[in-house]
């Protein structure tokens, strides 16, 4: 089998896994406890790194754009620029990439280890659907917590921007918040929620696929982990463009 054939077979297997995940949502058993545990692992344990990344991204954004806007006497609008940039674009994308790096790698490594040690085959032998127990629980958790993390990232990013705006440019917190909130409309909020919802589904899907298709022992686990992060990050960036196009068309922005 040449590389091209292997690639197309991999793509087919990837979408087959997605179809199995969707089907598994509609029949029991439902592993509520496992899903909650995964929500904690994916969401709560990722909060610190997502929060720090977003906070300093907001600071850098305001620091860079504030100096440029000051040249034109428009530095008072830096809050509006920061809020729109974070809510529409930077918050969801940054959250998706950070979670892909932290959680996606962990999922691929965990499932890959189970695959090479035949624990997944053991689950099948005991009559347990590994897709239902190992993949669907993580998929549902990702759909819930990644948008929540993105909302928190938006808020912390704007807060970091407020700190720099006040300390560096002398903009009062009241003025910053006023411009930051007034510029946002319902379309911005819809875009800021739908994007991380899509990114959460994609990164969990990719991580689970790479974990379940791991081969070659511990060396294969390492390769699957690396590939999971790289592929997830690329898909998030590519998906961001197409999600933007679809939402702009639907919302008539």
The count of C-alpha atoms lying within 13 angstroms of the C-alpha of 113, restricted to the half-sphere facing its C-beta, is 5
Q: How many domains is the chain built from? A: 1
Q: What is the pLDDT of residue 25?
A: 87
* In a domain? residue 17: no
Do 199 and 101 contact (CB within 8 A), yes or no? Answer: no
Give the pLDDT confidence score for residue 127 in this predicted structure. Answer: 82
Residue 181 C-beta-side C-alpha neighbours within 13 Å: 8
Does 18 map to a domain?
Answer: no
Q: Is the pLDDT of residue 249 over 80?
A: yes
Q: Is a pLDDT exceeding 90 seen at residue 9?
A: no
Q: Is residue 14 part of a domain?
A: no
Q: Which of 2-6, 51-55, 186-190 has the highest mean pLDDT?
A: 51-55
Pick from 125, 110, 91: nearest CA to 37: 110
CB atoms < 10 A from the CB of 44, how many? Answer: 12
Residues 204, 209, 215, 220, CA torsion sign: negative
Q: Is there a domain that residue 54 lies in?
A: yes
**Do the Cβ atoms of 126 and 21 come closer than 8 Å?**
no
pLDDT in tens, 220-235: 898 999 999 999 999 9
- Is the pLDDT score of 122 beyond 70? yes
Residue 160 confidence (pLDDT) above 80: yes
Nearest to 73 by CA among 1, 195, 169, 201: 169
Residue 5 inside a domain? The answer is no
pLDDT number for residue 27? 84
Contacts of 206 (CB under 8 A, 6+ apart): 14, 100, 104, 228, 231, 232, 235
Looking at residue 155, what is its pLDDT? Answer: 93
Q: How far apart are CA 223 and CA 109, in angstroms?
A: 9
Q: How far is CA 216 from CA 232, 245, 251, in A?
A: 22, 40, 47
In this structure, is residue 231 part of a structural domain?
yes
Q: Give the residue numbers spanning the domain of 169.
A: 32-251
Judged by DSSP in three states, 117 sits in coil
Note whether residue 4 is domain-resident.
no
pLDDT reported for residue 253 = 62
Q: What is the pLDDT of residue 124?
A: 86
130 in a structural domain: yes
């Amino acid at each position: 089998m040449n590389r091209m054939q292997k690639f197309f077979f991999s793509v087919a297997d990837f979408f087959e896994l997605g179809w199995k995940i969707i089907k598994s949502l509609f029949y029991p058993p439902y592993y509520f406890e496992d899903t909650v545990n995964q929500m904690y692992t994916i969401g709560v344990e990722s909060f610190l790194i997502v929060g720090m990344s977003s906070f300093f991204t907001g600071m850098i954004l305001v620091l860079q754009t504030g100096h440029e806007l000051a040249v034109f006497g428009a530095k008072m609008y830096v809050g509006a620029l920061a809020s729109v940039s974070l809510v529409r674009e930077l918050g969801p994308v940054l959250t998706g990439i950070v979670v892909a790096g932290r959680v996606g790698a962990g999922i691929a490594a965990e499932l890959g280890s189970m695959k090479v040690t035949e624990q997944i085959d053991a689950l099948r032998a005991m009559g347990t659907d590994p897709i239902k127990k190992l993949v669907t629980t993580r998929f549902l958790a990702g759909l819930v917590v990644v948008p929540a993390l993105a909302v928190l990232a938006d808020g912390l990013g704007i807060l970091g921007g407020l700190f720099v705006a006040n300390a560096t440019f002398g903009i009062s917190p009241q003025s910053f918040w006023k411009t930051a909130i007034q510029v946002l409309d319902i379309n911005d909020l819809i875009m800021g929620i739908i994007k991380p919802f899509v990114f959460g589904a994609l990164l969990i899907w990719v991580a689970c696929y790479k974990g379940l298709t791991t081969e070659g022992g511990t060396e294969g686990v390492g390769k699957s982990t690396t590939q999971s992060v790289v592929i997830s990050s690329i898909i998030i960036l590519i998906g961001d463009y197409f999600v933007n196009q679809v939402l702009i068309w639907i919302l008539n922005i």
